[in-house]
Amino acid sequence: MRMKQPKSYMKNTYKIIWSDEALNGLRNIIEYLEFKWTEKEIRKFAKLLDKRLGLIQKNPLLFPQTTKSIDIRRSVLTKYVTIYYKIREHDITLISIFDSRQDPAKLKLG
């Protein structure tokens, strides 16, 4: 007789939800990269972002809470790009993909 694994041992991944703010931030970063970088470097950035989102999806508590809100976590992707997100039950909402070369006052987390 085959037994089912207990729920606590099952692989758990969260659904990623992109906010308009996060999509706009990513769009702006990509436009900047297209202007300054080569296609190869842009693909490398995209792979890095995809890998990081996979880590967040599998283990959202891996990255620290922000000092602005305990509900929001941040993951520094590169020297200039930070991902801000919230965990809600089985979803992760990407709040912002922020280019830190911008004025910090432009960061919208709420």
Q: Is residue 4 part of a domain?
A: no
Q: Is residue 104 part of a domain?
A: no
Predicted local confidence at residue 104, as pLDDT? 67
What range defines the domain where residue 86 resides?
Answer: 13-99
Q: Is residue 62 part of a domain?
A: yes
Looking up residue 93, the CATH number of its domain turns out to be: 3.30.2310.20
Predicted local confidence at residue 64, as pLDDT? 95
Q: How many domains does the chain have?
A: 1
Edge-to-edge strand list for the sheet holding 72-76: 15-18, 91-99, 81-88, 72-76
Q: Is residue 6 part of a domain?
A: no
Q: Is residue 105 part of a domain?
A: no
Q: Is residue 67 part of a domain?
A: yes
Predicted local confidence at residue 9, as pLDDT? 41
Predicted local confidence at residue 4, as pLDDT? 45
Name residue, tokens 């809600």: 88
Q: Is 33 exposed, middle or buried (0-12, 13-18, 19+ CB in 10 A)?
A: middle
Separation between Cα atoms, residue 97 and residue 22, nearest integer Å: 5
Q: Is residue 76 part of a domain?
A: yes
pLDDT tens across the length of the chain (110 residues): 444 444 444 456 889 999 999 999 999 998 988 888 888 988 999 999 999 999 999 999 999 999 888 899 999 999 999 999 999 888 999 999 998 877 666 777 76
Q: Is residue 109 part of a domain?
A: no
Model pTM score: 0.83
